[in-house]
Amino acid sequence: MNKRHSLGQHFLISNSIAKSIVNFADITKNDIVLEVGTGRGILIPHLCEKAKKVISVEKDRELHLQAEEKFSSIQNLVLEWGDAFKMDHKFTIFVSNLPYSESRKAIEWLVQRRFSHGVIMVQKEFAQKLVGEKDSRDIRAISVLASYCMEIRNLMSVTKSNFSPPPQVDSVVIHLTQKHQISGNVMRAVNKLFSFKRKTLRNIGKQLGKVIDSDDRLEDLPNGEIIEIAKRISK
């Protein structure tokens, strides 16, 4: 099966791009790398060559079993089957060719984790949401979470022809450097705030049973102020 239909996964087939992704990650022999989405394992040899330890987690049972058979001789590799976002691995570097359907979940999970940096490939449109203009009236919860918690840099574009089967859209490799870590409660509170996005902060407060003495809207505030309000309402 070429595609994980449930996850919207398209497999990277360019070894040169795989090498570039790993090189962008600046991995040393002191690093523990977490890869989410083993897939066909195109990143694994390059990751294991550089890292102290690589933990690669795959949701698809068949793909996991194929990886176990293919990479059984690599000593510093741990292959796991399941949902990485429900696990509690310790790692310094996060690397992933994320299934498009998992991109938002990955960012919401990463903002709660302690790590150094990450290199991920996401759909081009999703990357644009993460680095959305602050003066945009179309500000989103995910862009606030990502921009507050991480410094985000675009590294390279990857055209759809580098995947099998080819997706409908191009992808972007981005670099994430952790700035802040927040709790799951604060992350959920940010999402809750944005469910009332068109209201003033005063009216949002009324909806949530909190007093917020401001007639500004979320789009008028710096990311840090939105996070501080989320911290207050999450208590």
Write out pLDDT tens, residues 158-214: 999 999 999 999 999 999 999 999 999 999 999 999 999 889 999 999 999 889 999
Residues 145 and 64 in one domain: yes
- How far is the C-alpha of 229 from the C-alpha of 221, rounded, in Å? 10
**Is the pTM here over 0.75, yes or no?**
yes
The total number of structural domains that make up the chain: 2
Owning domain of residue 19: 11-181
> pLDDT of 57-84, one tens digit each?
999 999 999 999 999 999 999 999 999 9
Classify 222 in phi/psi space as left (phi over 0), alpha (psi -120 to 50) or beta: beta
pLDDT category, 91, cuts 50, 70, 90?
Answer: very high
User: Are the C-beta atoms of 140 and 118 separated by less than 8 Å?
Assistant: no
Residues 209, 170 within the same domain: no
**What is the distance between the alpha carbons of residues 231 and 235, in angstroms, rounded to a whole number?**
7
Asked, for residue 154, whether it belongs to a domain, the answer is yes
Q: What is the pLDDT of residues 210-220, one digit of tens each?
A: 899 999 999 89
CB 141 within 8 A of CB 193: yes
